[in-house]
Amino acid sequence: MSAPPGAPLQWHRREPPLPAAAVLALGPAVPALARATAERLAGGAALRAVADEQSLVVLGAGADLPWADGVRYLGRDGGTLLPTTACPTPAPALWRQALAPGDGLLLVLVPGLALVADLPTGPPDPAALTLLARGEEPS
């Protein structure tokens, strides 16, 4: 799911910030976000998630999104998930067209990283979240 972008992005501060639509954890922040996601799901939150060995992206309504140390909140712009307080140049829609054209793909851009994955359609598997919370990769 993870890859460096093929061309340099320039980032600018966004005002006002985008509303949060997702939360991203990378590396050591993944286990804590997996635990927080499991807690939110147990409390009735409607969340979707996608993960690989180094990242976890959780999607949902802003008020339902979990929090953990080291995560980044993301908002939607041009069909792309971006940090809520940052905007890339060129425009997000152009990055979407180049990296993840078509329906059914999730594109996340953050400074230094582009993530492309199938768009999750249902709630995360609790067993997979448990493995991620332990620092293990789900099979």
pLDDT digits (tens, 9 = 90+) for 53-91: 899 999 999 999 999 999 999 999 989 999 999 999 888
Query: What are the φ and ψ backbone dihedral angles of 30, each rounded to 5 degrees?
Result: -60, -50
% helix / strand / coil in the chain, to the nearest 5? 25, 35, 40
Residue 92 pLDDT grade (very low, low, confident, very high; cuts 50, 70, 90):
confident
What pLDDT score was predicted for residue 21? Answer: 98
Q: Answer yes or no: is pLDDT of 122 > 60.
A: yes
Q: Where along the chain do its domains lie?
A: 2-132
- For the CA atoms of 2, 8, 98, 52, the dihedral, rounded to the nearest 10 degrees, stands at 10
The predicted model gives 82-107 an average pLDDT of 90
Q: Say how far residue 22 (Cα) sits from the centre of its chain.
A: 5
What pLDDT score was predicted for residue 9? Answer: 81
Average pLDDT score over the chain: 92
Distance CA 87, CA 132 (A): 30
